[in-house]
């Protein structure tokens, strides 16, 4: 179990801290993973994932959301997998819709019975008109008490989300005879930190607990440099040798000016021979 949950980085609405899936802890174009660990696919085996849910429950009107995601993965070699993923999100009234598309690679250069090291590279576009581009390399370190995730383990995921933002200067209406407008873009850097643990309670039943946070190296006006993020609880259950149900509830830890909010998601993971 504990296969990769792609958790496409869903674009956030103003003042909305989405759960990526779901706790989304980053304001980068493409942010954090759900409560789960990275596991490479079998060679040639195609993985299909679909999720739906709601996030930001407890926020003000128009600041919560509903969303859906899908992902397709393929085992390229025993230690290298590729994927493509997409998402759609709108507010609780099914308006202000946006989407995102992502693709990438992840591999396992170190794979032992008790310690694994995974490398990830994710690229994607998001926002209105899919005009925001982001690149996110990452590394995950896993410690497993028993082989094949059979008992208990912990994992640490560190990602560096590289994106951009519009810092254009508008024209000053006080000087109608002069055009002070200037087109300007800036790069944006965020370090995303995820610490999680899993417990395989019985064969086919796995519980997960995950915490996430973010460091904004180039914060915007009014944005905290260190974002606490939130916590997520997950329950994964295998209902067939090739079908796994993924369920999660997440809680945002509010900082100054934020409200406590909750997110829920459920999904299915199918491994196709």
Q: Please report the sign of the dihedral spanned by the C-alpha atoms of residue 51, residue 53, residue 56, residue 62.
A: positive
- With CA atoms as reference, report the closest residue to 133 among 5, 23, 30, 25: 30
Neighbours of 157 (CB within 10 A): 22
Task: Tokens 């909750």: give the residue.
Answer: 262
Sequence-ordered list of residues with C-beta below 8 angstroms from that of 160, at least 6 positions apart, any chain: 136, 137, 138, 189, 190, 191, 192
To the question of pTM greater than 0.75 for the whole model, the response is yes
- With CA atoms as reference, report the closest residue to 223 among 25, 7, 20, 23: 25
Please, are residues 244 and 238 in contact by the beta-carbon 8 Å criterion?
A: yes
Two tokens, residue 164: 């951009």
199, β-bridge pairs: 152, 207
- pLDDT score at 152: 96
Two tokens, residue 44: 């040639």
**Per-residue DSSP letter, 182:** B
Domains in the chain, start-ordered, CATH in brackets? 46-165+184-272 (2.40.128.130)
- pLDDT score at 36: 64
pLDDT, one tens digit for every residue, the chain (273 residues): 443 343 333 333 322 223 333 333 333 333 334 556 677 788 887 899 999 999 999 999 999 999 999 999 999 998 999 999 999 999 999 999 999 999 999 999 999 999 999 999 999 999 888 889 999 999 999 999 999 889 999 999 999 999 998 888 888 888 888 888 888 899 999 999 999 999 999 999 999 999 999 999 988 887 889 998 899 999 999 999 899 999 999 998 888 778 889 999 999 999 887
Two tokens, residue 62: 């128009």
């Amino acid at each position: 179990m504990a296969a990769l949950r792609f958790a496409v980085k869903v674009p956030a609405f103003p003042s909305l801290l989405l759960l990526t899936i779901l706790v989304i802890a980053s304001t980068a174009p493409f942010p954090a993973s759900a409560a789960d660990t990275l596991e490479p696919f079998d060679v040639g085996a195609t993985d299909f994932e679909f999720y739906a849910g709601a996030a930001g429950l407890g926020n003000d009107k128009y600041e919560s959301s509903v969303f859906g995601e899908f992902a397709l993965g393929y085992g390229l070699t025993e230690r290298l997998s590729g994927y493509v993923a997409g998402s759609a999100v709108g507010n609780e009234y099914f308006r202000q819709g946006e989407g995102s598309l992502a693709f990438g690679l992840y591999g396992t250069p170190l794979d032992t019975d008790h310690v694994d090291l995974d490398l990830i590279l994710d690229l994607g576009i998001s926002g209105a008109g899919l005009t925001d581009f982001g690149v996110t390399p990452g590394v995950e370190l896993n410690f497993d008490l028993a082989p094949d995730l059979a008992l208990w383990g912990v994992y640490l995921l560190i990602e560096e989300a590289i994106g951009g933002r519009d810092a254009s200067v508008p024209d000053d209406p006080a000087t109608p005879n002069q055009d002070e407008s200037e087109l300007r873009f800036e790069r944006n850097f965020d370090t995303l930190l995820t610490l999680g643990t899993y417990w395989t309670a019985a064969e086919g039943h796995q519980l997960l607990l995950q915490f996430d946070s973010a460091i904004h190296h180039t914060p915007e006006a009014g944005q905290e440099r260190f974002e606490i993020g939130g916590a997520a609880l997950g329950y994964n259950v295998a209902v067939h040798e090739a079908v796994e149900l993924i369920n999660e509830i997440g809680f945002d830890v509010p900082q100054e000016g934020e409200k406590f909010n909750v997110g829920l998601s459920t999904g299915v993971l199918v491994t196709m021979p």
